[in-house]
Amino acid sequence: MAEQVIDEAIAQYSNLVYRLAFSYTGKKSDADDLFQEVFLRYIRKKPMFESEEHARAWFIRVTINCGKRFHTSTWRRKTVPLDDEIVFEMRDEMDLYHELIRLPAKYRAVIHLFYYENLKVEQISQIVRRKPSTVRAQLTRARKMLKERLEGEFSC
Amino acid sequence: MLGKTYQKMMEQVTPSEELLYRTKRRIEHQKPKRTMKRLILVVVTICICISISLTVLAANGMLFNIAPQLAQFMQPIELSSESEGITMNVVSAMNDDETAIVYLTLQDVEADRIDKTVDLYNYSIRGYSAFTHEVVHYDEQTKTATIRLLANGGEKLNGKKVTLKLSSFLSKKKTYEDVPLSIDLKNLEDVQTIPLDLNNIPGGGGEGFEALLAKQTMPVLKPSHQSPDFVAISGVGYVDGLLHIQTDWADSVDNHGFITLTDANGKEIQSYANLYFGLDQNGNTTYGRRYVEHLFQIPKENLPNVKAKGTFVENQNYTEGNWQVTFKIQAVNSSAILKKNVQIEGQQIDEVKITPMGISLSSVVDMDGLEISAILKDGKQISYTHSISIDRKQKILPELPIDISQIQEIRIGKSRINLQ
């Protein structure tokens, strides 16, 4: 795979992958590891994309798959400083972040794909390979949990 | 409301420059190398040199001091390869069908190129696909680094010959963290710029990189004359709504760094994009990596309130050579327990294989947040700390191998696998 193609893929999809990885793991250091794993997989698999939409779906699905299988190595942890907190600008963002990381990872992924990537339930269900009814139920449960914990701060 | 807040929150989450750099470097390791001239493989069967044997013995002793239980799992290899005055010894290994841990030493018998920061750059073990390594010991007197290398993705390699090949390594690494840059951002003078053809650069990064590429060309600062030993700031200026800070790097394999700004509240501002380029003899931009243009999206009026700092990594040595050792990979302890149709966290797994090196699952389980441990007969609990999945199979590894005859139970989340 040409270096230029790799550089372009990283430039184009780095935010997509990193934000999903961060939403899935809730930690910067874990998101860093997951991010690298996704792009290493991209090099190994050398996928050919039919469209931009296809490419985005591939990166999203691989990030989620890698996230499911991912546990950080203690070897790496020994050498990487654990500066895991991201300081968000606004208090409501910090509150939301702290409540999100208490949710199960699979809920966080669904929240991210729905609210950030603006995907429909059917699209999410295809990517995460769960039934639309399961995705819908997970979204409802996640919103309910957030609403309760944030004491009505958000109308979801 | 939730959606808006979530979007605003996530916009602030971006991969760091350092992460992008590290990722690209790891990718370079994975890419197939150019075909080389056919080499005559030399399999060194017996260590010839007494001093090397002593090193090997010392390394073995050191390993067993670190973790006495290793002795019952380690297969002594004691084969070496010498190139460029540096000896690579494969001291010992342990393995099962998919995974190998190899302890090797690097000793410089001619100069001083091995230290505790040694970092294998271009290396492989034929038959395996994923690697990680760390220096576990450095002996100042003999200038010998002992490295633990974990290789995954082997397929039924137990009892077969594998080749560990090392072509280059870095050493004498120095990291300069958060170095304040003596740049006066309050009084930026007008700067000279030169056009950069964005179709002729080796790469770049950052959130705005893709948007910049679409411009085809853009102005970058005309580098001031520099001959840096390592790195220098070769230009600072405000051009077309972007703050440009340019670094000039001496020719090297892996020296790198990134620059961040800090506002009055201590909040860090990451660069919007960075671009690599070179300069030809006429002072025009050309394909290359000597210069890095760091670009920041910051209003000019805010510049008096920010400070710039940099983190720079210098590898003072890059050593190339041809070290390779072929050895038979044979598990000392090949005990295994096979369990069929096991329920783990509500998921049925057709086959679970437990070996001293770890637990292999025939399919992948969502292990997110699950505690995984072995409960020994004496009540001791040992955690599994690594999880790797390749080709829809999953392997969970402890930090050190476990004598499986002593395991009473495996715990994965709420699931229990009784081994008695």
For B226, the token pair is 């520099």
Nearest-CA distance B310 → chain A (Å):
17
Which residues lie closer than 8 Å to B392 by C-beta, 6 or more apart? B363, B364
Query: Is the pLDDT assigned to residue B289 strictly greater than 50?
Result: yes
Highest mean pLDDT among A149-153, B19-23, B88-92: B88-92
Q: What is the mean pLDDT of residues B266-275?
A: 89
Q: What is the mean pLDDT of residues A29-39?
A: 87
Closest CA to B259 of B318, B200, B198, B182: B182
Query: Is the pLDDT assigned to residue B39 strictly greater than 50?
Result: no
CA B328 to chain centre: 26
Q: Is the dihedral of CA B207, B213, B214, B215 positive or negative?
A: positive
- pLDDT tens, residue by residue, B63-83: 555 566 677 788 888 899 999
- pLDDT tens, residue by residue, A54-80: 888 889 988 988 877 654 333 333 333
Nearest-CA distance B49 → chain A (Å):
33
CB neighbourhood size of B149 (10 A): 21
Q: Do A76 and B132 touch (CB under 8 A)?
A: yes
Query: Is the pLDDT assigned to residue A125 strictly greater than 70?
Result: yes
What's the distance, Cα to Cα, between the start and end of chain A in Å?
44
Q: Do B20 and A40 touch (CB under 8 A)?
A: no
- pLDDT tens, residue by residue, B3-32: 888 998 998 898 988 788 878 877 776 544
Mean pLDDT, rounded, of chain A: 80
Q: What is the pLDDT of residue A152?
A: 52
Q: Do B364 and A68 touch (CB under 8 A)?
A: yes
- pLDDT tens, residue by residue, B230-253: 898 999 999 999 999 999 987 777
Residue in B9, B150, B204 nearest the CB of A93 = B9
B contact test, residue of A75, A95, A150, A151 with most B CBs within 10 A: A75
Nearest CA in chain A to B13: A19
A contact test, residue of B27, B200, B207, B370 with most A CBs within 10 A: B27
B400 Cβ under 8 Å from any chain A Cβ? no
pTM, to two decimals: 0.53
Nearest-CA distance B384 → chain A (Å):
10
Residue B177: phi and psi, rounded to 5, are: -95, 140
Contacts of B362 in chain A (CB under 8 A): none
B259 to each of B192, B227, B262, B270, B275, how far by Cα in Å?
21, 20, 10, 8, 13
Strands B358-361 and B393-398: antiparallel
Query: Is the pLDDT assigned to residue B407 strictly greater than 90?
Result: yes
Nearest-CA distance B271 → chain A (Å):
13
DSSP annotation of B357? T
Q: What is the pLDDT of residue B50?
A: 31
Which amino acid is residue B54, in one-letter code? Answer: L
3-state helix, strand, coil in chain B (%, to 5): 15, 50, 35
B contact test, residue of A5, A10, A44, A66 with most B CBs within 10 A: A10
ipTM value for the complex:
0.87
What's the rounded Cα separation, in Å, for the pair B222 and B244?
A: 11
Interface of B with A in 249-278 (CB under 8 A): 267
